[in-house]
Amino acid sequence: MGKRKSTAKPPPKKRMDKLDTVFCCPFCNHGSSVECRIDMKNLIGEASCRICLESFSTTVNALTEPIDIYSEWIDECERVNNPEDDGA
């Protein structure tokens, strides 16, 4: 008589780390003052600082996270501060 095969347990699911939703302001450098909000109904994402009241808004899609909005804001600040790199 043969031995029955035991069923293997499935591997445990890996936990995804939570992404930040509050960030450091690029203008006043105040930590945890920038809050990102996503309005999926109007497809608009907004990042705004509670201290210096600076804000940035951009279009979003279904995969956009708050870190994406903040990263676009930082990229736009760098692009504005370095106009000689745009081309020509």
Please give the domain boundaries of the chain with CATH numbers for all domains. Answer: 23-81 (2.20.25.190)
CA dihedral 46, 69, 43, 50 (to 10 degrees): -10
Of all helices (H) and strands (E), which one includes residue 49? strand 44-49
pTM of the predicted structure, to 2 decimals: 0.73
Q: Which residues contact 24 (CB under 8 A, 6 or more apart)?
A: 30, 31, 32, 33, 34
Give pLDDT, residue 87. 56
Q: Percent of the chain, pLDDT > 90?
A: 61
The string of pLDDT tens digits covering residues 48-72 is 999 999 999 999 999 999 999 999 9
AA letter at 83: P
